Structure 1
Amino acid sequence: MSDVSTKAIREAPIDERVVEEAAAERDLETADVADALVVIDAELRGHHSDFEHGEYVTVEDRRAYAVSTDDWTAATETVDFEEPLVTAAREAHTRQAKLLFDSAVESVQFDEGTVGVVVGVDTAEEMV
């Protein structure tokens, strides 16, 4: 992995392994998915109150939300990426959220209508 994509992954609240898996499943470059996650992370600022009505957990420096697909779409609708990239980013957020909920021993059902949103705690606090 290049230094550029590694830096982008560090800027997003998603684990490197999760980004790599999401990229591989969609046959995308890891760096492209990492860059998309950084843009989406910035886009999520200001949407905190949209997610607070659902389940969430804070683990170390990240907060994971279980939200409806409609909430995800509304929060990311201005992001201008091709569909496979948006899907990979959504899947990375959902996978990371599941890992964080599991690590906090919180039971949340992620069904077809539920996706994950993961933000840094500092981002979540800015979104209030």
Structure 2
Amino acid sequence: MTDDQPAEVSEAHIDDAVIDRTADRFDVDAAEIRNVLVVLYGDLLGRHSEYEADHDYVTVDETRAYRVPSSVWDELAEEFDLDDDVADAVEHAHTEQARLAFEDAVGVDERFADDDSGIVVGIDTAEEF
């Protein structure tokens, strides 16, 4: 893909390039990461109000990115009974995508600390109001 082409975004609002880099880094199959992302995505859609109330967030290109403590991911991994490698990979993919969103957000000066994690979830028109 050349730089002038838009990145493809997966069904879970994570760029394909982020998923591919994550798969390489964690030695987890990219298809497995995508499958878990889609399953989690359905649940995360219903948690916007919870995350908005307690965490910093930005909205970029119909995607909301939250900066959360890693304990949020510990709870998600336990709730969905994810293997450690898969849980680490999925958390990393979300965190990398959230970092990119915070960097792209206009008027946001705050950046992620080393111990911050991220969650990204698409928004629909009703959630914007």
**TM-score, normalising length from structure 1?**
0.80
What residue number does 2:65 align with?
64
Tell me which residue corresponds to 1:11. 11
Structure 2 alignment gaps of length 5 or more: 1-8
User: 1:24-62: CA deviations, max 9, x gaps?
Assistant: 101111111111111111221332233112210001110
Cα displacement (A) at 1:73: 2.7
CA shift in 2, pair 1:123/1:75, >3 Å: farther
CA contact 2:103–2:111 (8 Å) conserved in 1: no
RMSD: 2.3
Shift of 1:76: 4.5
The change in CA–CA distance for 1:70 and 1:123 in structure 2 (over 3 A counts) is: farther
Contact 2:66 2:119 in 1 (8 A): yes
Map 1:1-128 to 2 at 5 A: 10-52=10-52, 53-105=54-106, 106-122=108-124, 125=127
TM-score, normalisation: structure 2: 0.80
Identical pairs, percent? 40
* Moved segments of 4+, more than 4 Å: none
CA contact (8 A) 1:94 1:116 kept: yes
| Unaligned segments of structure 1, at least 5 residues | 1-8
Tell which structure's C-alpha radius of gyration is larger: 2
1:76 and 1:57 map into 2 onto residues whose CA distance is 24
- Cα distance change on mapping 1:69 and 1:33 into 2, 3 Å: same
